[in-house]
A = this chain, B = another copy of it.
Amino acid sequence: MNKHFLFYVPPGEIADNQIQFPKEEANHIVKVLRKQTGDVIQVTDGVGNIMDVRLSEVDKTRVSGDVIANYMTPAEPDRILAFGVIRQRERLEFAVEKAVELGVTRLVFVHSEHAGKMDIKARRIDKTMISAIKQSRRPWLPAWEERESFNDVLTEYKEGRNVIVAHPNEEGSYEWKPDDSPMLLLVGPEGGFSEKEVNHTLVSGARIVSLGQKRLRTETAACALLVLANLR
C-alpha cells in the first residue's frame, strides 16, 4: 500500500465502514493515480482516524470503498491561533497551510483595528486546510472562524488557556517553557496591536513572548509561535 497519499473524506460520507469519495478525491484516485478495484489506499476523516480502505468500485462517476482497518490517533494539544487578517491572499493561505502543518487546532482571523476588514474566501481556506492535513499526514482538520476584534477572541477563548502574545522586542529573548496545556496564541496584524488591544490583552493576564529584534511578518510570527508552542 502506498502511504505517500492520504485522502480526506468528511465523516458524513462514511457510514457502516463504507466510503463514498467526494468528486475531487475520486478524480485524483481515478485519473492521477489510476487506482483500480481492490487497491488499498489511506483515508482520514479529519477527526483523528486514518483508515485503510479497499476500493470496491472505481469508475469515472463513482468511487467507493470499504474500511478494512482504522488507526485512531489521540487528540492533539489545544492550540488556538488568532492573528490579524493578512490582506495578501497568497500570504494568508500560506499562514493557514503552515499553521496546520505546525499543529494549530483552531485558527481565528481577526479583523482588528490595524488589520482592517477583509473578505475571507471560505472555500479557499477549507481547501488549503484539507490539502495541508493530507500533505502532513495529520488526521485532525482544524476549525477556523473570523472575529471582529482581539477582545472578542479573548472573551471567547481565554478561559482555561494560557494566553501567549508574540511581540517583537529589542531584547530578543524567548523566556517561555511551553507544555501540553491549552494555549491561545495571539499574533498582531502588520501594523501591530493598537494600544487598546494591548491593554485588553495585558489585563487578561497574557504572557508576552519576544520573537527577537527583527520585524517579522504576521505569517512568520505565527509560524515561529507555533514552533515554540511545540517545544518540550
Contacts of A60 in B (CB 8 A): none
Could you tell me if B101 and A136 are in contact, using CB atoms closer than 8 angstroms? no
Residue A92 lies at the interface, judged by CB distance under 8 Å to chain B: no
Contacts of A103 in B (CB 8 A): 212, 214
Partner of A137, one of B102, B214, B220, B228: B214
Bitwise, A221-232 to B at CB < 8 A (1) or not (0) is 001100110111
Could you tell me if A227 and B216 are in contact, using CB atoms closer than 8 angstroms? no
Partner of A135, one of B102, B217, B232: B217
Copies of this protein in the complex: 2
Interface SS, A side: loop
Contacts of A232 in B (CB 8 A): 172-174
Could you tell me if A136 and B98 are in contact, using CB atoms closer than 8 angstroms? no
What's the Cα separation between A73 and B228 when bound, in Å?
27
What's the Cα separation between A114 and B176 when bound, in Å?
37
Contacts of A157 in B (CB 8 A): none
Could you tell me if B101 and A220 are in contact, using CB atoms closer than 8 angstroms? yes
Partner of A227, one of B90, B101, B172, B224: B224
Q: Name A216's closest neighbour in chain B (CB-CB).
A: B101
Residue A215 lies at the interface, judged by CB distance under 8 Å to chain B: yes
Contacts of A136 in B (CB 8 A): 214-217
What's the Cα separation between A173 and B230 when bound, in Å?
9
Could you tell me if A230 and B217 are in contact, using CB atoms closer than 8 angstroms? no
Residue A138 lies at the interface, judged by CB distance under 8 Å to chain B: yes
Residue A71 lies at the interface, judged by CB distance under 8 Å to chain B: no
Contacts of A135 in B (CB 8 A): 215, 217
